Amino acid sequence: MTAVTGTTATTATTAIGIDIGGTGIKGAIVDLVTGQLVSDRVKLATPKGGRPHDIIETTRTLLNTVSKNACDLPVGVCFPAVVKNGHTISAANVSPKWIGLAAEALFEKGLELPIHFANDADAAGYAEARFGAATGVAGVVILTTLGTGIGSALLNNGVLVPNTELGHLQIDGHDYETRAAFSAKERENLSWEKWAGRLQKYYSTLEALFSPDLFIVGGGVSKHHEHFLPLLDLKTRIIPAVHRNNAGILGAAALAAEFPN
C-alpha cells in the first residue's frame, strides 16, 4: 500500500470507507475518481451481540489497520440501521441498544476523528449511482442488498431518498427480510430455486408499489447472480450491482469526501 497523506476533506480524491454489517465490518481506502479500492480490504467479524461499545472498538481496530499509511483522509462509516441526524433509530441485526443512540458522536469519540455516518444500503446506492450500475440511469432505481438483512436504496434520477428500509416490507404476515435475505437461504438451507420463489414475491411487491425503472441487486451473493436472477419473472430489468459487496465501502468513502462535517 502506498502512503496517502495530507488531503483535506473538500479536495479529497481518496477517502476511507467502513461498512458495518450484521456479520462483518469491512473497510478500505477508496480512489474517488475511479471508484476503486486502493488498499487491501480489511474485514473483521462483527462482535457477537452487536453491542455499541464492542462494534465501536472493532471499528477502531479496523480503522487503525486501514489508515496505517493514510493520515488525514475523510472517513465514512455506514451502518445497518435507520440513521437520522447522526442517531441510529432502528436495529434489526444488531443489538437493540443502538435504538435512539447518538451513534455518529459515539463513533467520533471512539475513533477520535470526524466521520460521515449513513445507512449501509444508502451508501451502497450512492456508490452505484456514482460509480456503478445506476450511473446516469434516469427514473426510479431501487437497489437492494441481500445479506444478513435486506437493505434498500431508492434513487430518482440519481438522487437518493434515504432510510427507505424496504427490506422490512410486510408480505404474507412476515417482515420479509426474515424470508428473503441471503441469511434466510443459508439458515433454512434453501435451494436457489426455492429462494428465488421468495425473491419473486419480494420484487413483485416492490414493482407493484414503486413501478421502478431498474432493480440493482447487491450484497455478497450478487456475485452468484446467474443462479437466481434469471429465475425471476419481472417487468422491470434486474441486474447485479457492479461493486457487489464493496459498494458500502465505496459509498461511505464518497459521502465522507462529499459531505464533510
**Contact between 142 and ligand BGC (CB under 6 A)?**
no
Binding mask 214-243 for ligand BGC (x = CB under 6 A): ------------------------------
Candidates 128, 165, 222, 228; binder of ligand BGC (CB under 6 A) is 165
Contacts (CB under 6 A) with ligand BGC, residues 17-36: 21
Strand pairing of 14-20 and 24-31?
antiparallel
**Contact between 144 and ligand BGC (CB under 6 A)?**
no
Candidates 14, 67, 90, 222; binder of ligand BGC (CB under 6 A) is 90
Please, where are the H alpha helices in 30-145? Answer: 52-66, 103-111, 120-131
Cβ-based nearer residue to ligand BGC, 67 or 93: 93
Interface size with ligand BGC, residues (CB under 6 A): 17
Cα 258 versus chain centre, distance? 17
Contacts (CB under 6 A) with ligand BGC, residues 106-135: 119-121
Q: State how far the Cα of 53 lies from the Cα of 70, in Å rounded to an integer.
A: 25
Q: Which residues contact 177 (CB under 8 A, 6 or more apart)?
A: 92, 149, 150, 167, 168, 184
SS3 content of the chain, % helix, strand, coil (to 5): 40, 25, 35
Cβ-based nearer residue to ligand BGC, 73 or 167: 167
User: How is residue 77 written as a grid cell?
Assistant: 462509516
- Least Å distance, CB 26 to ligand BGC, is 12
Q: State how far the Cα of 248 lies from the Cα of 92, in Å rounded to an integer.
A: 18
Angle, CA of 5, 249 and 245, to the nearest 5°? 145
The stretch among 39-47, 80-88, 186-194, 204-212 that binds ligand BGC (CB under 6 A) is 80-88
- Least Å distance, CB 62 to ligand BGC, is 17
**Contact between 92 and ligand BGC (CB under 6 A)?**
yes
Cβ-based nearer residue to ligand BGC, 67 or 88: 88
Candidates 59, 145, 236, 246; binder of ligand BGC (CB under 6 A) is 145
CB atoms closer than 10 angstroms to residue 24: 16
- Least Å distance, CB 95 to ligand BGC, is 13
**Comparing C-alpha atoms, which of 34, 5, 9, 11 is closest to residue 246?**
34
* CB-count burial class (<10 Å; 0-12, 13-18, 19+) for 134: buried
| Sites of contact with ligand BGC (CB under 6 A) | 21, 80-82, 90, 92-93, 119-121, 145, 147, 149, 151, 165, 167, 177
